[in-house]
Structures are given as structure tokens and as C-alpha cells.
């Protein structure tokens, strides 16, 4: 009995499917027209989908013969009436196709963006094919690129600093430092994305300057970079914390230098010694370091010593990132008449003792 | 024109007959007489559908002239008929109109009796019929049509003559005309024969 019921049910299902298939094939559209639900055919390649609707036109031709009759006489003519009606078409009853399925796929009128590019969407029923609508799939929006020029952290003795770097084209660039009330919401940059912004009016203390690059159309997409500025007014106790003995390191060897107040109020003096090993000459100890810390925190120090007829000279540059740390590089050369010039370059770091 | 030809033929036939009679054995005193008359009557087409279309029919007018002896005459007769009605329009919201014109030209013999007021006629008939159909909507030009029929046939009539003060007599006559069938019209429809019956009354002068 159950077998009979199952076979009967299967037969009913089969017949309903056949009837549905016949219903599909019975529709003869003279033309098909597809249209997106919104005017824009731009899509994003993040799986965005858009439903296309489809309408079909059906042309019906009817003929009607009008006749006038007498006893002996007849007159007649035939009126041909052509009616074109438009009706919505079930999207699942037509065959949809995409010219580039890697860009966009379509199923039952639902177009789904896959990757950036162009794809022509069309539909057909029987021998009738609709027009094509080209969808433009754009890349997924990303936050614009932004990079700052080093240093990202600086100690300085003046209330302004510069922020520079490279930003992605079309991004909206802004620079802010809320604690000091500085804000520039639309910083300009050159055609290659270079920008150079001066941040003024810094309040003393450790300040974080925020540089933000925002997507031109999607405000939720942005990139932020930060520059930390430790600003202290020279001569104040806070600033004078930098003075004292410092221990430098280069190539695993230590060197000592001292920072002291300068006779010029806006800067500090540096003095000390360093030893450098020159190939062919050997290690030269006691090379004098003499220089200053500029108001912007950069270091200008000269190296000088005479050693066995060699004139040792050079420069040591860098900056102090905090009141207790500094870093930079130095170059030195040893010159002696009749000898080839020997050059040397290396990095250094230092901490306050 | 056709009436004139018929009249001339009648005169020729009558004069020839009179000449033969005069050239016979013994001259008989059979007086050659003429008659001419007019009548009006109701013409009824034998076609069944004619009544359906032509509801408004005019009186059929008849003119007759003859020549002969006492009991036998050769005669010529002209009869015309006009009808107006509504043609049958199918598949359109339009009202059709129809117009029928028909003329009969007859030549034949009339036999009378001395003892009876009755007379009989047999005749050869030619007929021109014309039918025009149209609609009251002038823009429907395609529904206009005109068709003419030229046919021939025979006619037979039975009448009764009633004496009035000479030379006037009145008569009542029933005539049946049967025409040859005309085949089919351009649309393939069989056209029936277009004869009919006419019952008429009129006066005749016999000289």
C-alpha cells in the first residue's frame, strides 16, 4: 500500500513538473527587456548583488473581416489588429547569461559582483534574447595609503613642528593635534602625493599629532599615522632634564658625552669623546665631540682629532626622541697627505645616565 | 434606347402582319387596333433575402403599347422598379444601406377573348438590374460596392380588362417573370435569378 501511495505521489510530482515546463515553453515573447532595480550599474567586487527584472512583449495579431452584403453585391475588407502588450516575466523562467562570469555571475536575475571589470548581462527565452546591460564592477574600497617621513617621535624645544609624508591620490588628508587645538581638515598635497604640513601652537608636553587620510567617498575608510612630539620650553626644569651625562653606543662600544645649557637660551651644548676604528689606521680614541642641540631637537656635532699625522674629522647627527633617549648617525674621515682618504659611517644610540 | 428599338420592332412586325392579312384571299374586316396604357403595381422579388434587405420598395411603374387585331396583339412593355433598404454589415459597428434599381423590357403576345374580359400574355424579357451598397459611415470606403446584372428571361401575365367609356379601359394584371440565373458574384456567392411577381392596375386606350 505504501508503495502504491509513493508511486502515486511521485507521478503527481512528475506531472506537475512537466506541466510547469510546458508553461515555460509556451511563452513566446517577441522581445525581452531587462533592467536593473536601480539606475546605476556600478557594483563593488565584494559580493554585492543586484536584482535585475525582466519584462517581455507579446505581439498578438488578430484579423477581422468586415463584410457588407446586399442581394447581389458584396463588399468586404480585412482589418488586421496588432496588439503589443508588455508583461513582467518570471526571472526564473528565462535563461540568464553573463559575458564574463569571473567579473559577475547571474542567476534568476540576481547579478553578483565577483571581481573588478565589465560583464554584459542578458536573458533569453526560446529564440528571443534581451538587450545586454553592462555592469561595471569596481574594486573593493580600501582605506587610502598613508606614510609619514621619520622621525615619528621627536624631542624639541620649539612649539611647532613639521609633518610630511606621502598619501594616496584622491584621499582627503587632515592633520590634528587635539590637545593643542590644532586642526587642518584639508591638507593639500602634490600630484605625487607628497605633503609637508607645519603644526603650530603646540602646548608643552608630549603631543600626538594625528595625520588621517580618508577615502574620498567612503568616510568609514581611513588610515591614520601619528607623530609624537615632546615639546619643552628650553630653560624650564622639564627641558633641563636633558642635561647631564649620557652614554652613547656604536658598534658595541660605548662613548660618553655631556649635555649642558648653552649660552643661547633656545639650545643645549654637547661635548664628549668617541673612539672610531679606521681600517689601516687602527682605533683612534678621544675624538672630540662638540656641538649643539637645535631647538627642533636635531643634533649638530663635529668630530675632530689629529692622530699620527692624520686629520680626523666628521659630523654626528641625530635627535633626541625623549629626554632620556637619542639616536642618529655619524660620519668620519681620516686624511693624511700621501694617504688615501678613509671614510667611516655608522649609527649611534644614547641613553641618559 | 432599348424601348425605342422594341417599339420599332413591334411596328415592323405588326405592319408585316397587316400586309399579309391584306394580301390574302378575301379581305376580312378585321380592324387593326392599337392600344397604349400605363399602370402601377407592387413588385415582389422571388429572392427570399430580398425582403430582408429592401424593406422600402417603391411602386413599380409600367408602360405598355401594342398593336394587333381583334383578339391578338403584339406588345412591348417597359417596367421599372426601385427599392431602398439596409445591407447586412458583419463584424463592424456600421449601418449599411442598399439601393436596388431594375428595369424590364418585354416584347410578347397578348391573347384576348371576345367572351371574357380575361387576357393572357407571354413575353420575352430582358432586364437590367443594378445594386449599390454602402454604409452610413463615409470613411468605410471599402464597404461600398456596385454590381450590375444584364439578363434575360420569360414572362407570363394574366389580366382582366374592365370596360370604361370608350376608348378607355382599365385592367388589373398579375405577371410573373423568370430570369436566367447569373452565376456568382466576384466574392463567389451564387446570385439568384432576379425575376419576380408584379400585381398592377392601370388604364389603357384602345384605338
What's the average pLDDT block by block, 10 residues per block, for chain A (353 residues)? 57 49 58 79 83 89 88 86 87 92 94 93 91 89 90 91 93 94 94 93 94 92 94 89 93 93 89 91 92 92 92 93 90 90 91 92
Distance from CA of B179 to the nearest CA of A (A): 14
According to DSSP, the β-strands at A244-250 and A110-113 are unpaired
- Closest to B195 (Cα-Cα) out of B133, B63, B104, B130: B104
| Residue B104 confidence (pLDDT) | 95
Q: Are A72 and B54 in contact (CB < 8 Å)?
A: no
Distance CA B76, CA B66 (A): 6
Q: Are B98 and A70 in contact (CB < 8 Å)?
A: yes
Q: Give the max Cα distance, chain B.
A: 76
CB B154 within 8 A of CB B170: no
Interface test with B, best of A67, A73, A78, A81 (most B CBs within 10 A): A73
Considering CB atoms only, which of A65, A66, A75 is closest to B144? Answer: A75
**C-alpha dihedral sign at A105, A107, A108, A113:** negative
For residue A236, what is its C-alpha cell?
Answer: 624650564
With beta carbons under 8 A apart, name residues in chain A contacting B147.
Answer: 70, 72-73
Distance from CA of B115 to the nearest CA of A (A): 44
| Residue A22 confidence (pLDDT) | 42
What ipTM did this prediction achieve? 0.74
Distance CA B67, CA B76 (A): 9
Q: Which residues contact B133 (CB under 8 A, 6 or more apart)?
A: A68, A69, A70, A73, A75, B87, B96, B97, B98, B99, B143, B144, B145, B146
Dihedral pair phi/psi, residue A103, rounded to 5°: -90, -50
Distance CA A295, CA A121 (A): 65
From A72, which residue of chain B is nearest by alpha-carbon distance?
B191
Please state, as a whole number, how many other Cβ atoms lie within 10 Å of the Cβ of residue B134: 21
CA atoms within 13 A of residue B184's CA, in its CB half-sphere:
5
CB A228 within 8 A of CB A154: yes
| Residue B177 confidence (pLDDT) | 93
A189: DSSP letter: -
DSSP codes, A89-151 = --GGGSEEEES-TTTEEEETTEEEE-SSEEEEEEEEETTEE---EEEEEEPPP-PPPEEEPSP
CB B133 within 8 A of CB A69: yes
Considering CB atoms only, which of B45, B91, B146 is closest to A73? Answer: B146
Q: Are B91 and A75 in contact (CB < 8 Å)?
A: no
With beta carbons under 8 A apart, name residues in chain B contacting A72.
Answer: 129, 131, 147, 149, 182, 185, 191, 194
Considering CB atoms only, which of B91, B134, B146 is closest to A67? Answer: B91
Q: Are B189 and A74 in contact (CB < 8 Å)?
A: yes
**C-alpha dihedral sign at B128, B133, B138, B140:** negative
Helix (H) or strand (E) holding A9: helix A2-25
From A78, which residue of chain B is nearest by alpha-carbon distance?
B142
CB B177 within 8 A of CB B45: no
| Residue ranges of chain B whose pLDDT lies below 70 | 1-30, 138-140
Q: Are A69 and B87 in contact (CB < 8 Å)?
A: yes
Contact status of A62 with chain B (Cβ, < 8 Å): no
Residues 66-125, chain A: which have Cβ within 8 Å of B?
66-77
For residue A152, the Cα-to-chain-centroid distance in whole angstroms is 20
From A77, which residue of chain B is nearest by alpha-carbon distance?
B142
Considering CB atoms only, which of A64, A65, A68 is closest to B133? Answer: A68
| Residue B24 confidence (pLDDT) | 42
| Residue B14 confidence (pLDDT) | 42
| Residue A222 confidence (pLDDT) | 94
- In three-state secondary structure terms, A20 is helix
Amino acid at each position: 500500500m505504501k508503495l502504491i501511495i509513493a508511486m502515486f505521489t511521485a507521478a503527481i510530482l512528475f506531472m506537475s513538473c512537466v506541466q510547469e515546463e510546458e508553461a515555460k515553453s509556451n511563452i513566446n515573447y517577441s522581445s525581452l527587456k531587462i533592467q536593473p532595480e536601480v539606475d546605476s550599474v556600478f557594483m563593488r567586487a565584494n559580493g554585492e548583488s543586484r536584482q535585475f527584472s525582466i519584462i517581455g512583449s507579446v505581439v498578438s495579431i488578430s484579423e477581422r473581416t468586415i463584410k457588407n452584403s446586399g442581394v447581389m453585391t458584396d463588399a468586404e475588407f480585412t482589418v488586421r489588429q496588432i496588439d503589443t502588450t508588455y508583461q513582467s516575466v518570471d526571472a526564473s523562467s528565462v535563461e540568464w547569461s553573463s559575458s564574463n562570469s569571473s567579473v559577475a555571475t547571474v542567476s534568476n536575475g540576481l547579478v553578483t559582483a565577483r571581481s573588478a571589470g565589465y560583464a554584459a548581462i542578458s536573458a533569453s527565452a526560446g529564440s528571443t534574447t534581451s538587450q545586454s546591460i553592462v555592469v561595471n564592477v569596481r574594486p573593493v574600497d580600501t582605506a587610502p595609503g598613508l606614510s609619514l617621513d621619520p622621525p615619528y617621535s621627536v624631542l624639541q624645544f620649539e612649539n611647532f613642528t613639521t609633518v610630511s609624508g606621502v598619501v594616496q591620490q584622491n584621499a582627503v588628508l587632515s592633520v590634528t593635534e587635539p590637545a593643542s587645538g590644532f586642526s587642518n581638515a584639508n591638507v593639500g598635497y602634490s600630484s605625487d602625493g607628497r605633503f609637508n604640513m607645519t603644526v603650530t601652537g603646540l602646548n608643552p608636553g608630549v603631543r600626538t599629532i594625528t595625520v588621517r587620510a580618508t577615502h574620498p567617498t567612503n568616510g568609514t575608510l581611513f588610515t591614520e599615522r601619528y607623530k609624537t612630539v615632546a615639546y619643552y620650553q628650553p630653560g624650564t626644569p622639564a627641558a633641563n632634564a636633558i642635561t647631564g651625562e649620557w652614554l652613547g653606543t656604536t658598534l658595541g662600544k660605548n662613548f660618553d658625552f655631556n649635555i649642558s645649557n648653552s649660552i643661547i637660551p633656545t639650545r643645549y651644548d654637547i661635548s664628549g669623546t668617541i673612539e672610531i676604528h679606521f681600517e689601516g689606521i687602527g682605533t683612534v680614541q678621544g675624538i672630540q665631540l662638540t656641538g649643539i642641540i637645535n631647538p627642533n631637537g636635531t643634533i649638530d656635532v663635529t668630530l675632530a682629532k689629529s692622530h699620527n699625522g692624520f686629520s680626523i674629522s666628521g659630523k654626528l647627527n641625530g635627535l633626541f626622541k625623549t629626554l632620556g633617549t637619542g639616536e642618529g648617525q655619524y660620519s668620519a674621515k681620516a686624511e693624511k697627505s700621501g694617504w688615501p682618504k678613509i671614510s667611516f659611517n655608522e649609527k649611534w644610540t644614547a641613553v641618559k645616565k | 434606347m432599348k424601348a425605342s428599338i422594341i417599339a420599332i420592332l413591334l411596328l415592323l412586325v405588326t405592319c408585316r402582319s397587316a400586309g399579309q392579312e391584306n394580301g390574302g384571299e378575301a379581305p376580312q374586316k378585321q380592324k387593326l387596333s392599337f392600344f397604349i396604357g400605363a399602370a402601377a403595381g407592387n413588385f415582389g422579388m422571388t429572392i427570399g433575402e430580398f425582403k430582408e434587405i429592401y424593406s422600402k420598395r417603391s411602386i413599380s411603374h409600367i408602360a405598355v403599347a401594342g398593336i394587333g387585331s381583334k383578339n391578338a396583339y403584339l406588345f412591348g412593355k417597359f417596367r421599372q422598379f426601385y427599392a431602398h433598404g439596409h445591407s447586412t454589415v458583419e463584424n463592424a459597428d456600421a449601418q449599411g444601406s442598399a439601393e436596388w434599381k431594375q428595369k424590364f423590357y418585354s416584347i410578347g403576345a397578348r391573347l384576348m377573348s371576345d367572351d371574357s374580359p380575361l387576357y393572357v400574355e407571354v413575353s420575352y424579357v430582358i432586364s437590367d438590374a443594378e445594386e449599390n451598397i454602402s454604409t452610413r459611415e463615409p470613411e468605410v470606403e471599402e464597404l461600398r460596392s456596385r454590381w450590375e446584372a444584364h439578363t434575360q428571361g420569360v414572362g407570363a401575365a394574366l389580366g382582366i380588362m374592365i370596360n370604361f367609356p370608350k376608348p378607355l379601359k382599365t385592367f388589373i394584371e398579375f405577371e410573373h417573370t423568370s430570369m436566367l440565373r447569373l452565376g456568382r458574384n466576384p466574392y463567389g456567392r451564387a446570385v439568384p435569378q432576379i425575376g419576380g411577381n408584379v400585381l398592377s392596375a392601370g388604364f389603357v386606350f384602345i384605338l
